[in-house]
Chain A
Amino acid sequence: MDSIVILFISGLLGLFVGMRRQPLSALVISSLGLTGAALAAYFRGQYTSPLAAYTAYIPTQSAVVILLCIVTLLAIWGGYQRYRQENEHTGDYLSLVLFSLCGAIMMAQPNDLMLFFIGLEILSIPIYVLVGIEKGSALSAEAAVKYFFTGSFASAILLFGIALLYGATGSFQLVEIQSNLAIGIWQSPMAMIGSLFLLAGFAFKIGAVPFHFWGPDVYQGASNAVLMYMSTVVKITGIYAIVNVFGQIFRDSYFYWIDLISLLIVLSMFYGYITAWKQTSFKRLIAYSSIANAGLMLFALADIHNSNIFLFVAAYAFATIPLVTINEFADQNSDDLSNWEGIAWKNPLVGAALVLALFSLAGIPPLAGFFGKFSLLWSAVPHIPYTAVLALIASVIGAFVYLRLLMLALKKPEVQVKKALSAEQTIVLLLTTISSITALYLI
């Protein structure tokens, strides 16, 4: 809660500073805001918030908030390069990101579907705008249109699901819903259909097949800075929300959904990875890879109580952000994969970050991505072993996708051209690289 307040205020401040064309100050304010929000979340256990007395509060775990803040911090730094040059919209961009993050924090671990829905909208609406922030670009406009319409359509579906659930149980409180449903979900088709609508809405948010269509198009149309934010924060929030909502509502009966979840997992992973293979645009590649990763994330639903999604999403975010940063580094205005040829040779830090990020995404130990995957599979394997087998086969295809990108980036060029990273990019790459490695402490 305090984090939200801090973020909101710094967002407002950023907005005003941005109006004065001072991008750096806006960045500093936003960074401070994010840091403050993370700290507030960290110290939240130390004192009681006055608002906690109310029934509808936000019980988000501090770890998630901190993760979201850090990821956002990295994202705005990684994408800052562009806004330093075109300082027109820096303030708007930063404050919209911060507002959106408020929504993410609200919806990540809700206990009340109403707050959850509002959070979802606060998260989504600024992103609709952010996608279209490149006003001169037709692609950006198209992406914004597509994202907006699919997004509001999915919101409507989700809302419908919430309404049906309410109809079946008479409450928006997850705890009450659970206790009212305890008589048995199969006695209430309405609740069942409601939860399926809910699931569809979530699947849209994290971009699982067949609700993934917005992903590639929107990712491609969005600028690198926005891509960095939305490919990480939205997914993290989405998966946390679904785990939380389903974990609470179907505390004892989540396994009813397992076969559907398995289907989603398998479809997403195979579709995502296979389609990623033939992409020529980096952003689309990342988009399809994120579809597949969404499938992986859904493993968390196989055993809701024991799953630990944190590691996976963190690893995913810390691998995606440097990659997009490198894409920004490669060429600001194009996302064609040909820009990636031999890019590792332009800068040693880029090379290191790239190798680690791609191997982390491919899930090869001892990098963070492996531990994420492992912790997901650890809880899932006893419940859906055959899905796990299929998922791992899909992972092999995925590894191919990443290795292909890696080979492209590592190809030794005829003439080596050095290129410097900007300061923020350096920081982002350093931090993500280090964090990829420091996952070792998890051993």
Chain B
Amino acid sequence: MSLQIISIILGSLTLASALMVVLSKHPVRSVIYLVVTFFFITSMYIMMNAQFLAIVNMIVYAGAIMVLFLFVLMLLNLNKEVEPTTTIGAQFAAFIAGGSLFLVLITALKETLILGQSYRHQDNQIGLVKELGNLLFTKYVVAFELTSILFIAAMVGAILLAKREKQIIE
């Protein structure tokens, strides 16, 4: 029962902080709230015994990526800039669209086979590093190797785009 309560609290906090990401006027606050959101998500992973992912999520997302975001924000020195606002109409439309999207998704939940089913605790070791490592380097080794292309490409691209051209300096 305590698990239940913790889950509910975590879930609510996750959603609340996610909402704050969207709602806060200042981008830096958005970043902070996002980190908080990630933190809660990580804790949910732990609740589901997905330890490896929890660690990765913490390190990669909350750590690396979010720092990158902050870094870029600082680099562009935007914190003083007035946050651009959206018209009420557009907000309303977006809200309606989002709401209906959510409704639609909830419909998917309804009558689903797994509705109301609890965790299956009998095989809860899958989220451990060992299990996943096994899987990653046997069944998904091709995919794993191929991500190197992704990274190379992303790296090349990032450098290419972010690098200052000489002409611009001169």
Residues in A lying within 8 Å of B, measured CB to CB: 1, 4, 8, 11-12, 15, 51, 54-58, 88-89, 92, 95-96, 99-100, 102-103, 106, 114-115, 118-119, 121-122, 125-126, 128-129, 132-133, 135-136, 144, 164, 167-168, 187-190, 192-194
Contacts and interface: CB of A to CB of B under 8 A. Distances in A.
Nearest to A15: B156
B152 to A, nearest CB: 6
A126 B139 CA distance: 26
Contacts of A135: 161, 165, 168
B111 A189 contact: yes
B84 to A, nearest CB: 14
Nearest to B107: A189
A114 B150 contact: no
B74 interface: no
Given A129-B156, A193-B108, A115 B142 contact: yes
A194 B157 CA distance: 32
Contacts of A57: 142
Contacts of B107: 189, 193
A72 to B, nearest CB: 15
A58 B138 CA distance: 15
Contacts of B143: 56, 114-115, 118
B110 A12 contact: no
Given A114-B140, A125-B157, A135-B165, A4 B108 contact: no
8 contacts: A58-B142, A99-B153, A99-B156, A115-B142, A135-B161, A136-B165, A136-B168, A193-B104
A252 B85 CA distance: 49
A267 B114 CA distance: 36
Interface in B104-161: 104-105, 107-114, 138-143, 146-147, 149-150, 152-154, 156-158, 160-161
B75 to A, nearest CB: 16
B167 interface: yes
A6 to B, nearest CB: 12
B150 A122 contact: yes
A190 to B, nearest CB: 5
A279 B144 CA distance: 44
B139 A106 contact: no
Contact of A8 (B105, B114, B149): B149
A86 to B, nearest CB: 11
A99 B149 contact: yes
Contacts of B149: 4, 8, 99, 102-103, 122
A125 B142 contact: no
B147 A189 contact: no
A193 B142 contact: no
Contact of A164 (B108, B110, B111, B158): B108
Nearest to A12: B152
Given A11-B152, A129-B157, 19 more contacts: A12-B152, A55-B139, A99-B153, A99-B156, A114-B140, A115-B146, A118-B147, A118-B150, A122-B149, A126-B153, A126-B157, A128-B157, A129-B156, A132-B161, A133-B161, A167-B112, A168-B112, A188-B112, A189-B112
Question: Which of B110, B111, B146, B153 lies at the interface centre, i.e. has the most chain A CB atoms within 10 A of its CB?
Answer: B153
B110 A189 contact: yes
A261 B107 CA distance: 22
Contacts of B139: 54-56
A119 B145 CA distance: 12
Given A118-B143, A118-B146, A190 B138 contact: no
A125 B165 contact: no
Contacts of B108: 164, 189-190, 192-194
B150 A125 contact: yes
Contacts of B156: 15, 92, 95-96, 99, 126, 129
Contact of B112 (A56, A100, A190): A190
Contacts of A121: 150
Contacts of B142: 1, 51, 54, 56-58, 115
